[in-house]
């Protein structure tokens, strides 16, 4: 991609040099937590990419807090701890949730005494029952498949400091919203919000998700690579599905492997790639930072918004 004029672009080596930590200053416990959710994460990436990123986020967080205090003083109001929200956008299967969980562990480690929480916008998809009613089952992930007003209301409640906030939960395995299951958000200092639509402009809302995010990341890669990661994840989902007839992916485990992969490729091409090209990629240049990945999820370039 040609670099947009309002970003500074850095190679991985240049970016790494912005952090003066010579070695990875993580506890064994933090390393264990990282490996526990994805043992393929490279610790070199953590060192080269994420440690400087966490330092930058710390700067952004401190400035945000200071500005909130100054504004409250200007308005002669009591200062309030307004949560700092980080948005993570990008294609289906590009690795957003992995980036989000890694940041959650690292922020817990580096933002001492602060409460870090993570939520995915998948929970705000309409249930399959509702999608069927609206004839949207082949549009899952497209803007109209989300209850955007519920998502905006949720973010507003978080910023407003509401006591206990419930968010619905989506399961990839069940391929649907899980009834009666919720995530609870309780006074976070930082909330990470991960989802394909975090930089999107909704068609019928007055405010956007990005009106609530204080720092946004876009995870970027060549679509051919993302397709291979999508198919790898699809195969992993099949591996856990074959013993469970209630699993959404079970029918693909009782046909030939070639047939199952052909179906996966079709889903990618007709739904997720289309969504990437039409609705997700056009939001890339609204992000504060773009993380560009190459083969094996290796981050090779970073773009940081100047203005
Ligand atoms: N840094 C990484 N190293 C190795 N594998 C990764 C990495 N990030 C993501 N993956 C793998 O790529 C696939 C898609 O990642 P995931 O985080 O589920 O994407 P998304 O949340 O964007 O849909 C998963 O199989 C995941 O394990
Ligand atoms: C639930 C999703 C829209 C969100 O994806 P995620 O970014 O969590 O991978 C996506 O995984 C999805 O189900 N897309 C519809 C087509 C499909 O991949 O089955």
Percent pLDDT > 90 in the chain is 73
pLDDT 10s digits, 25-34: 677 777 777 7
Mean pLDDT computed over 100-113: 92
pLDDT value, residue 280:
95
Domain range annotation of the chain: 7-305
Distance 145 CA to ligand 2 centre (A): 11
Regarding pTM above 0.90, the answer is yes
Assign a CATH topology to domain 7-305: Rossmann fold (3.40.50)
Residue 288's pLDDT band, with cuts at 50, 70 and 90, is: very high
Instruction: State the residue for tokens 């069927």.
Output: 132
Hey, which bits of the chain come out as E strands? 7-11, 84-90, 116-120, 165-171, 176-185, 190-194, 215-220, 289-293, 299-305
Mean pLDDT computed over 100-116: 92
Mean pLDDT computed over 12-33: 78
Give this complex's ipTM. 0.98
Indicate if ligand 2 lies below 6 Å from the C-beta of 237: no
Which atom, in ligand 1's list, is nearest to the CA of 93? Answer: 23
Mean pLDDT computed over 278-290: 95
Indicate if ligand 2 lies below 6 Å from the C-beta of 89: no
Indicate if ligand 2 lies below 6 Å from the C-beta of 99: no
Q: Is 260 annotated as a binding residue?
A: no
Which residues are near ligand 1 (CB < 6 Å)?
38, 40-41, 90, 92-98, 229, 232-233, 236, 297
Distance 271 CA to ligand 2 centre (A): 9
Mean pLDDT computed over 135-158: 94
Percent pLDDT > 70 in the chain is 96
Mutate to test the pocket of ligand 2, among 140, 177, 276 (most ligand atoms within 8 A of CB): 140
Residue 232's pLDDT band, with cuts at 50, 70 and 90, is: very high
Distance 229 CA to ligand 1 centre (A): 7
pLDDT value, residue 179:
93
Distance 92 CA to ligand 2 centre (A): 6
Q: Is 91 annotated as a binding residue?
A: yes
The rounded distance, in Å, linking the Cα atoms of 80 and 194 is 25
Indicate if ligand 2 lies below 6 Å from the C-beta of 271: yes
SS3 of the chain: the string is: CCCCCCEEEEEHHHHHCCCCCCCCCCCHHHHHHHHHHCCCCCHHHHHHHHHHHHHHHHHHHHHHHHHHHHHHHHCCCCCCCCCEEEEEEECCCCCHHHHHHHHHHHHHHHCCCCCEEEEEHHHHECCHHHHHHCCCHHHCCCHHHECHHHHHHHHHHHHHCCCCEEEEEEECCCCEEEEEEEEEECCCCEEEEECCCCCCCCCCCCCCHHHCCCEEEEEECCHHHHHHHHHHHHHHHHHHHCCCCCCCCHHHHCCCHHHHHHHHHHHHHHHHHHHHHHHHHHHHHHCCEEEEECHHHCEEEEEEECC
Does 30 or 211 have the greater pLDDT score?
Answer: 211
């Amino acid at each position: 991609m040609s670099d947009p004029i309002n970003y500074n672009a850095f190679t991985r080596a240049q970016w790494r040099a912005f952090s003066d930590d010579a070695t990875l200053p993580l506890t064994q416990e933090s390393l264990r937590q990282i490996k526990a959710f994805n043992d393929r994460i490279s610790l070199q990436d953590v060192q080269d990419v994420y440690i400087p990123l966490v330092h930058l986020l710390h700067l952004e967080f401190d400035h945000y807090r200071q500005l909130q205090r100054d504004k409250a003083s200007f308005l002669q109001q009591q200062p309030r701890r307004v949560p700092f929200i980080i948005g993570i956008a990008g294609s289906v299967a590009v690795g957003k949730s992995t980036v989000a969980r890694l940041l959650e562990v690292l922020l817990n480690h580096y933002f001492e005494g602060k409460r870090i929480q993570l939520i995915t916008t998948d929970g705000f998809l309409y249930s399959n029952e509702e999608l069927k009613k609206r004839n949207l089952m082949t549009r899952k992930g497209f803007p109209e498949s989300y209850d955007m007003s519920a998502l905006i209301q949720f973010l507003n409640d978080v910023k407003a400091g509401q006591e206990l906030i419930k968010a619905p939960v989506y399961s990839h395995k069940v391929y649907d919203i899980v009834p009666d299951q919720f995530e609870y958000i309780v006074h976070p200092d930082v909330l990470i919000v991960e989802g394909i639509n975090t930089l999107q402009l909704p068609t019928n809302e007055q405010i956007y998700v990005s009106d609530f995010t204080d720092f946004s990341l876009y995870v970027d890669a060549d679509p051919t690579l993302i397709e291979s990661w999508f198919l790898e994840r699809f195969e992993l989902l099949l591996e856990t599905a074959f013993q469970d007839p209630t699993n959404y992916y079970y029918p693909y485990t009782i046909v030939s492997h070639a047939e199952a992969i052909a179906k996966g490729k079709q889903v990618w091409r007709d739904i997720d790639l289309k969504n990437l090209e039409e609705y997700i990629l056009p939001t890339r240049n609204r992000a504060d930072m773009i993380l560009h990945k190459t083969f094996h999820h290796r981050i090779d370039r970073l773009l940081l918004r100047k203005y």
